[in-house]
Amino acid sequence: AQSVTQLGSHVSVSEGALVLLRCNYSSSVPPYLFWYVQYPNQGLQLLLKYTTGATLVKGINGFEAEFKKSETSFHLTKPSAHMSDAAEYFCAVSTGWNAGNMLTFGGGTRLMVKP
Amino acid sequence: DGGITQSPKYLFRKEGQNVTLSCEQNLNHDAMYWYRQDPGQGLRLIYYSQIVNDFQKGDIAEGYSVSREKKESFPLTVTSAQKNPTAFYLCASTRRHQGNTEAFFGQGTRLTVV
């Protein structure tokens, strides 16, 4: 079984400040990890993903995430928040080719950016 | 441009009615999925299909039905048995039903019971 926990359903930062959105996963096998962003009344867009190889993954819009196996974490960061980053962010885990192994999503974190 | 198209964007259902949400993709993806999104609960899997004419129940399939007669299409019917259908519904597809492939999402359908 696999699961994802996103700490903090709401995060508020000032424009220009560091963005840190936390994601911890549980998986019995090496996971594949994803971060998606959702703007109001829209679908989800992939920000970045970790499959194998380098544990620091860079994505779109200046976001990056680091896979830390020892901490079972995949936190999303951005050095400097922009007003356009305000959205909901979802962390997701998958564990490979096998019937029933689906993308499992965390509950989401709504990021608010203050001017 | 390739992508996933969901229609309609907004849908209103009367009590006791069945309604069908459309999902079409031109990405040539084998696998398609339906998720339900409620505030604070993330996305929950309703049904998925790995190939044409085959589909599997997800975590919350009760009150829903699907079909996969064509590779491009995966419509979802919300039946009158679904007691709380008001939600945002998202359709997704992946190149294959494989863990390291990213999912592409449609723009969603917001269903409201009136």
Interchain contact, B90 vs A105, CB within 8 Å = no
pLDDT, tens digit (0-9, with 9 covering 90-100), for A61-111: 999 999 999 999 999 999 999 999 999 999 998 876 554 557 888 999 999
The whole-number pLDDT of residue A99 equals 47
The whole-number pLDDT of residue B42 equals 85
Successive 10-residue mean pLDDT values, chain B, 114 residues: 91 91 94 90 90 92 97 96 92 78 90 91
Residues in chain A with CB shorter than 8 Å from the CB of B97 are 97, 99
The whole-number pLDDT of residue B97 equals 59
Please state, in angstroms and rounded to a whole number, the distance separating the CA atoms of residues B113 and B87. Answer: 9
User: Which pLDDT band holds residue A21 (cuts at 50, 70, 90)?
Assistant: very high
The whole-number pLDDT of residue A1 equals 72
Can you point out the beta strands (E) in B1-114? 4-7, 10-13, 19-25, 31-37, 43-51, 54-57, 64-66, 76-78, 87-94, 104-105, 109-113
Residue B5 to chain A, least CA–CA distance (Å)? 10
**Nearest-CA neighbor of A89 among A65, A71, A67?**
A65
- CB contact at 8 A, B35 and B90: yes
B46: left (phi over 0), alpha (psi -120 to 50) or beta: alpha
Q: Say yes or no: B55 contacts chain A, CB-CB below 8 A.
A: no
